[in-house]
Structure 1
Amino acid sequence: MKLTLPDGPFEAYLFDCDGTIADSMPLHYLGWKHVLADWNCEFAEDHFYSLGGMPVTEIIAMLNERDGLSMPVDEIRRRKEEFFFGNLSLLKGIPEVLEHIEVSHGQVPFAVVSGGTRSCVTASLRSLNILDKFETLVCAGDYMRSKPHPEPFLMAAERLGVAPEACLVFEDTDMGIEAATAAGMASVKVPGPLERVLVG
């Protein structure tokens, strides 16, 4: 798999975390299956991947509404995160994205823009030994409107002091690409786990 970057130059790189930097979506899905089993709540894998970038609390609320359930949002989120933290040793990075981070670090500032919680994002980046490469992290709870709204990306650009049109976004989901486009930013699509299996 090779990433094709649009023509630059760019003054900042903004990265989604799960599924873009960290190959963490399969691990997150196992966490969902683990906690939702107690509620007999079905959550198809392709549906989960289609929601990439949506904060955990919003996913739980969506599942509650879909199935007429009353799963406690904070408890489900906490248990899912505990599962994720307990299995971090299984986490790997996505090589092509890590390569861009290594090559470009120090040339332009980096930000992570994620629908994940700050604790999950920080743990993932620390596990991959790249946490110190990012000037700022924009995570769930930092913004009012999540992807596909442009607010998270615009917040990252503002924190870095870079104009939106000078930012390049790395994203693995259509929702994330839509948010980047709405923010006036160029983007590069990172193939998801299912696509990488087909390509490989």
Structure 2
Amino acid sequence: MQKLEIDPKAKGLIFDLDGTLADTMPVHFVAYQKILGKYGVDYSAKMFLSLAGVPAVETIERINEVYGTDLNAKEVGHEKEAEYERMMHQMKPIEPVIELVMKYHKQLPMAVGTGGYKRLALKTLEIIGLKDYLDILVSADDVKHPKPHPETFLQCAAQMGVAPADCQVFEDGEPGMVAARSAGMIATLVTEYYDVFKA
């Protein structure tokens, strides 16, 4: 198995959170299935993975489009996040990415750019032991346009004081990869190095 590496051109590192630093994707998936099942939606792993990194409310809006449902995106999105919070203690750190954070801590500026909400993102960082290693966090609460729009990662770059072209983004989802490329950043898909999602 290849080892995750920092690009020699990178002067700042940006990490997605769910599925990149923390193996939360199976927990998110079960939470979505539980909540959506109540509304008669059989949510597939394929659909879930295609929306990796997209905030809950926007995910429900997309589900309405695809499944022809009329769910209240805000209410159901928050219901899903509450279910996820009840289960989030089950998450595990993703060691190869955590190792990069430890190795480059205080050597390169680092940030987290997540489609999750700030309160839960901070809780996640605490559970996986990174609360004191990553102090720049851009969440769904901080942007008008979530991934696949580049705003999340551009805000990370601005807060780190690093030009977008000099930032390396580590992502597990296609929306995040699109966001990183749109921002003109070095995009690294972590799932090419290991597969954490077991549907």
Query: Which residue in 1 is equivalent to 2:39?
Result: 39
Q: Which amino acid aligns with 2:32?
A: W
Query: Which residue in 2 is equivalent to 1:85?
Result: 85
Indicate the RMSD between aligned Cα atoms, in angstroms.
2.1
Q: Which amino acid aligns with 1:19?
A: G
* Partner SS, residue 191 of structure 1: helix
Q: Which amino acid aligns with 1:101?
A: V
Asked whether the 8 Å contact 1:164–1:183 carries over to 2, the reply is: yes
Asked whether the 8 Å contact 1:6–1:186 carries over to 2, the reply is: no
| Pairs aligned (count) | 198
Query: Which residue in 1 is equivalent to 2:53?
Result: 53
Runs of 4+ in 1 over 4 A off after TM superposition: none
1:13-37 per-residue CA deviation (whole Å, 9 max, x = no partner) reads 1000011001000000000011111
CA distance in 2, matches of 1:108, 1:100: 11
Asked whether the 8 Å contact 2:57–2:78 carries over to 1, the reply is: no
Query: Which residue in 2 is equivalent to 1:134?
Result: 134
TM score, norm. by length of structure 2: 0.91
Q: What displacement does 1:101 show?
A: 0.8
CA distance in 1, matches of 2:48, 2:126: 25
Cα 1:3/1:180, change in 2 over 3 Å = farther
Q: Which amino acid aligns with 1:140?
A: A
Q: How does 1:1-200 map to 2 (within 5 A)?
A: 1-5=1-5, 7-191=7-191, 195-196=195-196
Cα 1:65/1:9, change in 2 over 3 Å = closer
Q: What displacement does 1:96 show?
A: 0.2
CA distance in 1, matches of 2:33, 2:194: 18
CA distance in 2, matches of 1:89, 1:12: 30
Q: Which amino acid aligns with 2:157?
A: A
Structure 2 portions without partners, runs of 5+: none
CA distance in 2, matches of 1:194, 1:170: 13
TM score, norm. by length of structure 1: 0.90
Q: Which moved more, 1:59-68 or 1:19-28?
A: 59-68
Structure 1 portions without partners, runs of 5+: none
Q: What displacement does 1:6 show?
A: 5.5
Q: Which moved more, 1:22-31 or 1:49-58?
A: 49-58
* Partner SS, residue 13 of structure 2: strand
Q: What displacement does 1:181 show?
A: 1.4
1:101-141 per-residue CA deviation (whole Å, 9 max, x = no partner) reads 11111111211111111122111111112122113111113
